[in-house]
A and B are shown apart, each in its own frame.
Chain A
Amino acid sequence: MADRIKLQVTRYRPEEELEATVQEYEVPCPKEWVVLDGLNYVKDHLDGTLSYRWSCRMGICGSCGMTVNGEPKLTCATFLSQYGGGPVRVEPLRNFPVIRDLVVDIGDFMKKLVKVKPWLVRAEEKPQSEGEYRQTPQEMDEYKQYSMCINCMLCYAACRIYGLDPTFIGPAAIALAQRYNLDGRDQGAEERLEILSQHEGIWGCTFVGECTEVCPKHVDPAGAIQRYKLTAALETVKAFVMPRGGT
């Protein structure tokens, strides 16, 4: 097992150059090191100008998503040892504009997330005197999977539709909408339906399934989207067949 490995890292310094370049660094490769450890070694010992995001280093904050050897990965959860001696290609996350080096702008997602209202929407709040909203374990199981999303954006990097059409609302946003739609305490399904049933909403998805493949938290956004397509389609049919004369 080699004890050093080469990292081929994308550099983009907009104040100096118009295009991205690749810079190679050789870092130690102890068995337990992940790609993020390699990048931190570069920053600490080899090249302090390298820019990238990271935080918790344990797969829960969602900051360190990058493209490693062509695949969207959390660099804190990807071991260097699995690349058989390297070299390992580290690029910024796909489908997002690159600000600098490995740092991308995810402002587009943040806007879309707000649009789907990822919070409990209630027609009326229960007064505090009536106590808390109670939920059985089965009711929580309905949406628990979709609540695991850490907003790491790997699914957007893998989504071909998002790559082709940046107006597509995207896997994580829909999965998070579903997390609330399927929560028994929520009453906002109708409001979310309006946003999601636009063409840039769920209907742009062609169920490639890559989003589910790359999700580090097993959220299965593809499943969430397909389930929602059925729900939305049936709602549309119902509204057509039994139009409500103004709620």
Chain B
Amino acid sequence: MTEGVPHTRHHPRWLRPRLSTYWWLQRRSYFAFIVRELSSLAVAWFVFYLLALIRAVSLGAMNYERFLAWSRNPAIVVLNGVGFLLVVYHAITWFKLAPQAMVVHVRGERVPGVLIAASNYALWVVATLAVAWLLLRT
């Protein structure tokens, strides 16, 4: 570039420091951001996990049992445990940011952010209970 060229009024040499590849380790908020983004991997994992489960179910009771046995494998349990934490982190950060991203007007008045966050969490509880009920009722 202009390295080594003497700086003159008509040939200024501005300093442009480069960004480190490890910029995301330099601040807690950046690190939390990257964890949030990587939670999407956990989302993708559970999609495949669920599809594997459904495949096993559709192939018969034995396959279902085999799937359950496989999911008892300590490596899989750990993976699912970490994945669960990441997915929960995704949900929490998503609902926390929702009021910032969505401004809702009801009859000309702005709905306070707290209400938007609360209704998201309420919906989460309802969805959780509904799914649990569907799966656990006999």
- Is B14's CB under 8 angstroms from A105's CB? yes
Q: Could you give, for residues 1-40 of chain A, a 1 whenever the CB lies within 8 Å of some chain B CB and a 0 otherwise?
A: 0000000000010110011100000000000000000000
Minimum Cβ distance to chain A for residue B19 (Å): 5
Complex interface: stretch among B56-64, B70-78, B96-104, B122-130: B96-104
Task: Given A18-B3, A227-B101, check contact A97 B19 (CB 8 Å).
Answer: no
Shortest Cβ distance from A89 into chain B, in angstroms? 14
Give the total number of A-B pairs whose CB atoms are below 8 A apart: 65
Interface members, chain B 68-111 (any A CB < 8 Å): 97, 100-103, 108-110
CB contacts (< 8 Å) of A98 on chain B: these are 14-17
Residues in A117-155 with C-beta less than 8 Å from chain B: 138, 141
Of B7, B8, B30, which is within 8 A of A160 by CB?
A: B30
Which residues of chain B have C-beta atoms less than 8 A from A206's C-beta?
37
Q: Does residue A183 face the partner (Cβ distance < 8 Å to B)?
A: no
Range of interface residues on B (Cβ < 8 Å): 20 to 34
> Is A210 engaged at the interface, CB distance under 8 Å to the other chain?
yes
A226 touches B15 (CB 8 A): no
Can you sample 17 A-B contacts with CB below 8 Å? A14-B7, A18-B3, A70-B26, A97-B14, A97-B15, A98-B14, A98-B15, A98-B16, A105-B14, A138-B108, A163-B19, A209-B29, A213-B29, A226-B97, A226-B102, A227-B103, A230-B102
Nearest 8 Cβ contacts at the A-B interface: A226-B101, A97-B14, A14-B7, A98-B15, A223-B100, A14-B13, A15-B7, A163-B19
Which residues of B does A touch, CB under 8 Å? Answer: 3-4, 6-8, 12-17, 19, 23-24, 26-27, 29-30, 33, 37, 97, 100-103, 108-110
